[in-house]
Amino acid sequence: MTEAEAISIMISHMEGLFPKTCPNCQRQFVTLRDFMLNTMPIGNPIAHDLELGDLRPLHPVGAVTVSNCRCGSSLALTSDGMSVFRYWELLIWAHRETKRRGLTPKELLQYVRWEIRKKVLSELNELSSISWYENSKQKVSTKPTTICSAGWS
Ligand SMILES: [Zn+2]
Protein backbone atom coordinates (compact mmCIF):
# COMPACT_ATOMS: atom_id res chain seq x y z
CA MET A 1 0.00 0.00 0.00
CA THR A 2 1.31 3.45 -0.92
CA GLU A 3 0.83 6.65 1.06
CA ALA A 4 -1.65 7.95 -1.55
CA GLU A 5 -3.71 4.73 -1.23
CA ALA A 6 -3.66 4.84 2.57
CA ILE A 7 -4.77 8.46 2.57
CA SER A 8 -7.56 7.90 0.07
CA ILE A 9 -8.88 4.95 2.14
CA MET A 10 -8.91 7.17 5.24
CA ILE A 11 -10.62 10.02 3.40
CA SER A 12 -13.34 7.81 1.95
CA HIS A 13 -13.98 6.28 5.39
CA MET A 14 -14.22 9.72 7.00
CA GLU A 15 -16.48 11.05 4.25
CA GLY A 16 -18.84 8.20 5.11
CA LEU A 17 -19.23 9.60 8.64
CA PHE A 18 -21.13 12.63 7.30
CA PRO A 19 -23.55 14.33 7.62
CA LYS A 20 -22.77 14.77 11.30
CA THR A 21 -24.43 17.04 13.86
CA CYS A 22 -22.82 18.75 16.84
CA PRO A 23 -24.65 17.36 19.88
CA ASN A 24 -24.26 20.69 21.68
CA CYS A 25 -25.15 23.48 19.21
CA GLN A 26 -26.90 21.26 16.62
CA ARG A 27 -24.78 22.63 13.79
CA GLN A 28 -24.80 20.19 10.91
CA PHE A 29 -21.64 19.38 9.00
CA VAL A 30 -22.71 18.17 5.60
CA THR A 31 -19.38 16.87 4.32
CA LEU A 32 -15.88 16.17 5.59
CA ARG A 33 -14.75 19.36 3.86
CA ASP A 34 -17.47 21.38 5.59
CA PHE A 35 -16.32 19.86 8.88
CA MET A 36 -12.66 20.71 8.26
CA LEU A 37 -13.50 24.29 7.34
CA ASN A 38 -15.64 24.87 10.40
CA THR A 39 -13.85 23.06 13.20
CA MET A 40 -10.41 23.35 14.78
CA PRO A 41 -8.16 20.25 15.01
CA ILE A 42 -7.29 19.48 18.64
CA GLY A 43 -4.36 17.46 19.97
CA ASN A 44 -2.95 14.53 18.04
CA PRO A 45 -4.86 11.81 16.21
CA ILE A 46 -4.51 8.57 18.17
CA ALA A 47 -4.47 5.00 16.89
CA HIS A 48 -4.33 2.91 20.05
CA ASP A 49 -3.57 -0.34 18.24
CA LEU A 50 -0.62 1.28 16.45
CA GLU A 51 0.74 2.65 19.75
CA LEU A 52 0.46 -0.84 21.22
CA GLY A 53 2.20 -2.35 18.18
CA ASP A 54 -0.79 -4.65 17.66
CA LEU A 55 -1.11 -4.63 13.88
CA ARG A 56 -3.78 -7.32 13.47
CA PRO A 57 -6.06 -6.81 16.45
CA LEU A 58 -9.12 -9.09 16.44
CA HIS A 59 -11.00 -6.49 18.45
CA PRO A 60 -9.45 -3.18 17.44
CA VAL A 61 -9.52 -0.34 19.95
CA GLY A 62 -9.62 1.93 16.92
CA ALA A 63 -8.33 5.33 15.89
CA VAL A 64 -9.70 8.73 16.76
CA THR A 65 -9.12 12.33 15.77
CA VAL A 66 -10.73 15.20 17.69
CA SER A 67 -11.75 18.67 16.53
CA ASN A 68 -13.53 21.49 18.30
CA CYS A 69 -16.80 22.86 17.00
CA ARG A 70 -17.16 26.66 17.04
CA CYS A 71 -19.37 26.27 20.11
CA GLY A 72 -16.40 24.71 21.96
CA SER A 73 -17.68 21.12 21.95
CA SER A 74 -15.26 18.33 21.02
CA LEU A 75 -16.24 16.24 18.02
CA ALA A 76 -14.51 12.96 17.28
CA LEU A 77 -14.03 11.16 13.99
CA THR A 78 -13.24 7.50 14.55
CA SER A 79 -12.36 4.37 12.62
CA ASP A 80 -15.62 2.75 13.78
CA GLY A 81 -17.39 1.06 10.92
CA MET A 82 -14.27 0.43 8.87
CA SER A 83 -13.77 -3.21 7.89
CA VAL A 84 -11.24 -4.88 10.14
CA PHE A 85 -9.11 -5.99 7.17
CA ARG A 86 -8.93 -2.44 5.84
CA TYR A 87 -7.97 -1.25 9.28
CA TRP A 88 -5.24 -3.89 9.54
CA GLU A 89 -3.85 -2.81 6.16
CA LEU A 90 -3.67 0.77 7.40
CA LEU A 91 -2.00 -0.28 10.65
CA ILE A 92 0.59 -2.31 8.76
CA TRP A 93 1.23 0.59 6.39
CA ALA A 94 1.52 3.08 9.28
CA HIS A 95 3.81 0.81 11.27
CA ARG A 96 6.10 0.32 8.26
CA GLU A 97 6.21 4.08 7.64
CA THR A 98 7.15 4.90 11.24
CA LYS A 99 10.13 2.52 10.88
CA ARG A 100 11.10 3.78 7.43
CA ARG A 101 10.85 7.48 8.31
CA GLY A 102 12.07 7.20 11.88
CA LEU A 103 8.85 8.71 13.26
CA THR A 104 6.82 7.88 16.33
CA PRO A 105 3.21 6.76 15.68
CA LYS A 106 2.10 10.17 16.98
CA GLU A 107 4.34 12.04 14.54
CA LEU A 108 3.23 9.91 11.61
CA LEU A 109 -0.46 10.44 12.41
CA GLN A 110 0.06 14.16 12.77
CA TYR A 111 1.65 14.17 9.30
CA VAL A 112 -1.18 12.06 7.87
CA ARG A 113 -3.81 14.36 9.39
CA TRP A 114 -2.18 17.35 7.70
CA GLU A 115 -1.94 15.52 4.35
CA ILE A 116 -5.62 14.53 4.53
CA ARG A 117 -6.56 18.10 5.34
CA LYS A 118 -4.52 19.44 2.43
CA LYS A 119 -6.05 16.93 0.05
CA VAL A 120 -9.67 17.42 1.12
CA LEU A 121 -9.43 21.21 1.14
CA SER A 122 -7.48 21.53 -2.11
CA GLU A 123 -9.78 19.24 -4.08
CA LEU A 124 -12.29 22.03 -4.49
CA ASN A 125 -9.75 24.81 -4.72
CA GLU A 126 -10.54 25.91 -1.21
CA LEU A 127 -7.95 28.29 0.20
CA SER A 128 -5.59 26.44 2.46
CA SER A 129 -4.07 28.29 5.37
CA ILE A 130 -0.85 28.50 3.36
CA SER A 131 -2.38 30.28 0.38
CA TRP A 132 -4.33 32.48 2.76
CA TYR A 133 -1.03 33.46 4.31
CA GLU A 134 0.51 34.11 0.88
CA ASN A 135 -2.46 36.29 -0.09
CA SER A 136 -2.38 38.32 3.07
CA LYS A 137 1.35 38.84 2.66
CA GLN A 138 0.79 40.05 -0.88
CA LYS A 139 -1.87 42.50 0.21
CA VAL A 140 0.45 44.01 2.78
CA SER A 141 3.33 44.44 0.34
CA THR A 142 1.18 45.96 -2.43
CA LYS A 143 -0.63 48.34 -0.09
CA PRO A 144 -0.54 51.80 -1.65
CA THR A 145 1.86 54.13 0.06
CA THR A 146 0.82 57.53 1.29
CA ILE A 147 3.61 59.41 -0.50
CA CYS A 148 1.30 61.43 -2.78
CA SER A 149 -1.43 62.04 -0.20
CA ALA A 150 0.17 65.37 0.73
CA GLY A 151 -0.49 66.72 -2.77
CA TRP A 152 -4.21 65.89 -2.54
CA SER A 153 -4.98 67.26 0.86
ZN1 LIG B 1 -21.22 22.84 18.25
The tens digit of pLDDT for each residue in 102-112 reads 999 999 999 99
Q: Do residues 74 and 63 make contact, with C-beta atoms less than 8 angstroms apart?
A: no
CA of 92 to the centre of ligand 1 (A): 35
> Ligand 1: distance of its center to the CA of 118 in Å?
23
The reported pLDDT for the residue numbered 79 is 96
Q: 66 CA to middle of ligand 1, Å?
A: 13
- Sign of the Cα torsion 143, 146, 147, 149 reads positive
pLDDT tens digits, 135-152 = 444 444 444 444 444 444
Helix/strand/coil for 64: strand
Q: For residues 43 and 145, which has the higher predicted lDDT (pLDDT)?
A: 43
Q: Is residue 128 pLDDT above 80, yes or no?
A: no
Centre of ligand 1 to C-alpha 45, Å, is 20
What beta strand segments (E) does the chain contain? 20-21, 28-29, 40-47, 63-68, 74-78
pLDDT at 59 (0 to 100) = 92
pTM: 0.78
CA-atom Rg of the chain in angstroms? 20
